[in-house]
Structures are given as C-alpha cells and as structure tokens.
Amino acid sequence: MKSLTNDKKYSLIAIGIVWLFHVSGIIGISLGYQDWFASRTSLNLMIMFLILIIFFPLHSFKKWSLFIIFGGLGIFAEYLGVTFGLFFGDYAYGNNFGPKIFEVPILIGVNWALLTFICGAIANNLSDNIFLKSLLGTFMMLFLDLFMEKIAPIFDFWEFSGGYAPIDNYIAWGSISFIFNLIFHLAKLKGDFLISLHLYLVQLVFFVYFYVYY
C-alpha cells in the first residue's frame, strides 16, 4: 500500500478512473441509458470507497474506527428518518443504492463516512482552526446535498413525500455533518488532499450537471 500511496502516478490513475466512471455515467444517461447507469450506483460508490481506502489512505486503527462510527451513526440516523420520520422528513429509499438493512441502504453509511473524510481532508488545507474547518466541511457536504436532492428521486435513490426535501432535511444534514466534521478534526485525522478533492469534485460535477439537465 505504501508504494501505491507514495507514487503520484498511481494516484493520478485512481483519479482518472473515478472521473472516467462519472463522465461515462453523464454521457450514458444523457443518451437515454438512465436505468442501466443508475442501477450501477452502488458499484460506483464502492470504487470510490476502494480508492479512499488505498489512497486517502485508511491505514490506521483510529481512521478505520472513526470511519465505521460515522457510517454506523449515519445509518442509524437514516433508520430513524425512514422509520419514524425524524430529522430529515418523510422519505423512503429506492433500489439503486444497493442492499438495505431496516430499509436503509448499507452504502448510505459508507457515503456519510466517505464525505466526512474527504471534506475534512479538503478543509485541513483551507484553515488551521478546528471550528472553521468543521464549518467548511459541513458547508461542502450540505452544498453537495442541495444538488443531490433534486436528482435522487429521478435516479431512484430516495424520494420525499410531496416530491421535495423539506427544510428539516437540510437542517439535519448540516447538524450531523458538523458533528462528524468536528470529531474528524478533534481526532486530528489527515488524508490525501488531491484524492479527496477529486472524489468530492467528481460528485459535485455529476450532480450539478443533472440538476441543470433535468
């Protein structure tokens, strides 16, 4: 793993792969193959997770522990949301996020943790103040969610009753994201900035494109 993470060539290959998958999705869906590409969402997310493991990298007990904690808490919050309508509003998950546990896709927990780690790593390069870094990471996660919410029901990710996400959803997203980011920085976690930046930007470009497209 060290030889990979220390060689910029491999990092650039990983970045190229993640962009290739997302750009292919943009082109394919735009050409009318939405169902085929949307159903591969879980595969795409697993590829990003694998890249995070290798190139972030997740190579210590502390990093893995916090990743699992963020993922587990994310799933628990979503379980309370889909089951009791707490935090996010009245919504349900579709079928394109992979296997579920208690009606919550397991990969949604991976997504919570992955976003926290990459936004935290980016924020580490923007400020030295823990509180400000936590706010910056929260803003990045919430900004991405603003575009995801419109696209989610179209791609059968999740859908809110009434067809749109209520303000409660954004308040909850921001609050949970801030807590996760604050823990990330209090734990003094570090990660590869370039990998984290591209893992964030590739998702932002994808969802912004379809936000405008639809």
pLDDT for the residue 163: 85
Our measurement of the distance from residue 195's CA atom to the centroid of its chain's CA atoms, rounded to an integer in Å, reads 14
Instruction: Quote the CA–CA distance of 159 and 152 in Å, as a whole number.
Output: 7
* pLDDT bracket for residue 115 (50, 70, 90): very high
Instruction: Quote the CA–CA distance of 77 and 173 in Å, as a whole number.
Output: 10
Instruction: Write the CA distances from 129 to 6, 134, 142, 209, integer angstroms.
Output: 28, 9, 20, 33
Q: pLDDT averaged over the chain?
A: 94
Region 15-24 average pLDDT = 96
DSSP summary character for residue 128 = S
* pLDDT bracket for residue 6 (50, 70, 90): low
CB 9 within 8 A of CB 70: no
Is the model's pLDDT at 3 over the cut of 60? no
pLDDT for the residue 79: 97
Is the model's pLDDT at 1 over the cut of 60? no
Instruction: Write the CA distances from 182 to 130, 132, 185, 200, 205, integer angstroms.
Output: 7, 9, 5, 19, 26
Structure confidence by residue, pLDDT tens digits, 34-54? 999 999 999 999 999 999 999
Find residue 104's DSSP bridge partners: 101
Choose among 21, 121, 105, 37: nearest CA to 71: 105
Residues 6+ apart with CB under 8 A from 118: 52, 56, 191, 195, 196, 197, 199, 200
Choose among 117, 139, 136: nearest CA to 127: 136
* In the chain, % of residues over pLDDT 90: 93
Structure confidence by residue, pLDDT tens digits, 142-193? 999 999 999 999 999 999 998 889 999 999 999 999 999 999 999 999 999 9
How many CB atoms sit inside 10 A of residue 90's CB?
14
Q: What pTM does this model have?
A: 0.94
* pLDDT bracket for residue 4 (50, 70, 90): low
Low-confidence winner among 70-74, 114-118, 160-164 (lowest mean pLDDT)? 160-164
Cα Rg of the chain, angstroms: 17
